[in-house]
Chains A and B, each alone.
Chain A
Amino acid sequence: MKLSRTEWIGMFVEIAGVLAYLIILFAIAFLFARQ
């Protein structure tokens, strides 16, 4: 089950995309908490 370079990058893209989305949601929670 060896992963090629493209597959590693694909996996990283998925994780990075989800992390970015969670950071946006955290920023929204932060904005509401400040009010």
Chain B
Amino acid sequence: MTISSPKIISYYTGFIVLGTSALMIIPVITAVCQAEWEPLFDFIISMGIAASLGFLLILFGRDVKSHPDRVQWKHGFAVAALAWIILMLICAMPYLLSGHSKSYLDACFDVMSGFTTTGLVLTQDLDHLSISLNMWRHMLTFIGGQGMVVLALSFIVKEGSGAYKFYVGEGKDIALVPNVKGTARIIWKISLIYLLFGTFVFWIAGLIIGLQPVSAFFHALYMFESSWSTGGFAPNTQNIMYYHSLLYESVAMVIFIIGSFNFGLHYAIWQGKRKEFIRNIEIQSFAVTSFLGCVLGIAALSKTGLYPDAISMFRRVVFNILSAHTTTGLGSVYAQQFAQQWGDAGILIMVIVMLIGGSACSTAGGFKGLRVGIVFKGIMRDIKKLIRCERSMKVDKFHYMKDIVLEDSVIRSSALIIMCYIALFTIGTVLGTFCGYSMADSAFEAASATGNVGLTIGVTTPAMPAVLKIYYIIAMYLGRLEFLSVFALIGLVIAGVKKVCKKYLA
């Protein structure tokens, strides 16, 4: 029996959509507990629509149930790419119904920003958002960081039904244990342990700075989810500046740096392989680039006299550069301060670190330290080849959980992905300038969207042109899924259109 690709894709996407509708139960419970009746109905309506759509998709592809072995790589990639689009459209409904989004496009923008752990915001009147909607915003960024498909694999999709193909489709390609469902569960275990620990530490910090216990808990939960997922959302317009606290900012820094690490690295260290922390190419790459970024940033901004003491330098310069590098996007200076006070050198450093980003198979975005490390090692290898004796044969390796031979194909694929990111960033910058923004502002915002960072220089507002909003949604989406899944989905759509054309035109 032949099963068409649309049926396979529809079946598994249906499960992910159904799972997302089930997740809305958390904001529903929050709304009931907090007596927020209007948001409660917003969520019930959205939940009903999501569940209906999920069932319809499963019903359309029900033949797949008896033939789970038909799943191919292209299906895995396409499911991941399509699920993110459908979930964006569904999860935007509570935003729109709340009245805090100017349009459906703005609501979709915020959801994609949350899912991709970017953190750019178009929601209006953030300070007066209901607790349930705030819960939903931060949940989306937390789940997006771990991966919706990973979540679905943990609980819904059966092992052996091509599960690994869905997992890779979402840009997470490291197998922690041979069983992919087990890998997904380990990712969730690490995240949930840190959720308990991080929320507790943030809660204590909140109490110290004078928040009420219940309020401190909600702030702690939101800020943990935002920091760990390298998201950048906050329950207030002022972002992390709302707390006016070095302690709160330091806790956030520790959590977002750890959050930007590869889940494979967490697992290795938790299994007792502590040397991995020093030997891993991604950690080495992050240590070098973030250190250089911070030192250059401090050097450039110390000349201006903006931050006269070490604490303000640490809280403003180091915090923002690390937030940009880990693609978190929590900001401890206002958008306009970047534009007016940081100067060209400061903005250039921010753009570069935003594009580099965090680790592969983590919650972070950007073109990743792994690829930077591989390309750097490739360049060094070629230079050494020129210097070495022609007859000498040496195999170059890099350490990424294990020693891996540095092959040309690995360097080429890393360089290709970096090129794709740079192309996406360049188009965003050019588009920004066409929309009337300055070159520096356009580059900053394009790097922020492409690298899934979320810091803004003032371009991202509800008043910005719709074309720019759409482009940033595409950039966040492509940047997060690392291109391949989206290309697979486009390929399948084109093949399907060709097939239909042939059938009816022949």
Contacts and interface: CB of A to CB of B under 8 A. Distances in A.
Interface of A: 1, 3, 6-7, 9-11, 13-15, 17-19, 21-22, 25-26, 28-30, 32-35
Q: Which 5 A-B pairs have the closest CB atoms?
A: A10-B270, A30-B310, A29-B313, A33-B310, A10-B269
Given A22-B254, A28-B295, A32-B298, A7 B270 contact: yes
A3 B186 CA distance: 12
Nearest to A11: B270
Interface of B: 189, 192-194, 197, 250, 253-254, 257-258, 261, 266, 269-272, 274, 277, 287, 291, 294-295, 298-299, 302, 307-310, 313-314, 317-318, 322
12 contacts: A3-B193, A9-B272, A11-B270, A13-B269, A14-B266, A19-B254, A25-B318, A28-B295, A29-B298, A29-B318, A32-B313, A34-B310
A25 B314 contact: yes
B56 to A, nearest CB: 35
Contact of B302 (A11, A22, A33): A33
Contacts of B313: 29, 32-33
Contacts of A6: 270-272
Nearest to B314: A29
Contacts of B291: 25
A32 B318 CA distance: 12
A1, A28, A29 — which one has the most chain B CB atoms within 10 A of its CB? Answer: A29
A31 to B, nearest CB: 8
B277 to A, nearest CB: 6
A11 B272 CA distance: 10
A32 B45 CA distance: 56
Contacts of B254: 15, 18-19, 22
Contact of A25 (B258, B270, B294): B294
A22 B253 contact: yes
A30 B424 CA distance: 38
A8 B302 CA distance: 40
Contacts of A17: 277
